Amino acid sequence: MYVDTGGESPASAQSITVTPGELLGLKRAFEDQRDQIRGWLRRNSRALTVVPPPGNDACSRDTADLFAVNGQSAIDAANAFLDQLRGVAEKLGENARRYGLVEEDQVSEFSWRQG
């Protein structure tokens, strides 16, 4: 399976080989990683972008502003990585559907409706 991660450099394009039975587990692993990173960003983004100056002078204020810009750059990079994880998980899900695999939550929902 080829996964285009949407990167601009050839090094960012990756291919992985997965047996059909492992597709959904791998998809969940990518989603779990995405959720962990997203949660960390939600909890910590303010601390990365709102940096109080260590002093009341112009240099301290400029330094705090620079740290805030660097923090935003880190958040932007992490969000780009989250987009890649989402894209890979979607591709894995598409391939799972091609193999006729369904996710457990869909199976349990279907079973519940039947019974």
pLDDT higher than 50, residue 115:
no
Can you give the residue ranges of every domain in the chain?
Answer: 2-103
pLDDT higher at 74 or 4: 74
Backbone torsion region of residue 6, taken as left when φ is above 0, otherwise alpha when ψ lies between -120 and 50, otherwise beta: left
Taking only the tens place, the pLDDT of each residue in 6-40 is 555 544 566 778 888 889 999 999 999 999 999 99
- Please give the pLDDT value at position 15: 75
Task: Quote the CA–CA distance of 12 and 83 in Å, as a whole number.
Answer: 13
Query: How does the average pLDDT of the chain come out, rounded?
Result: 83
pTM of structure:
0.72
The CATH superfamily label for domain 2-103 reads: HP0062-like domain (1.10.287.850)
pLDDT higher than 70, residue 66:
yes
Task: Quote the CA–CA distance of 67 and 77 in Å, as a whole number.
Answer: 15
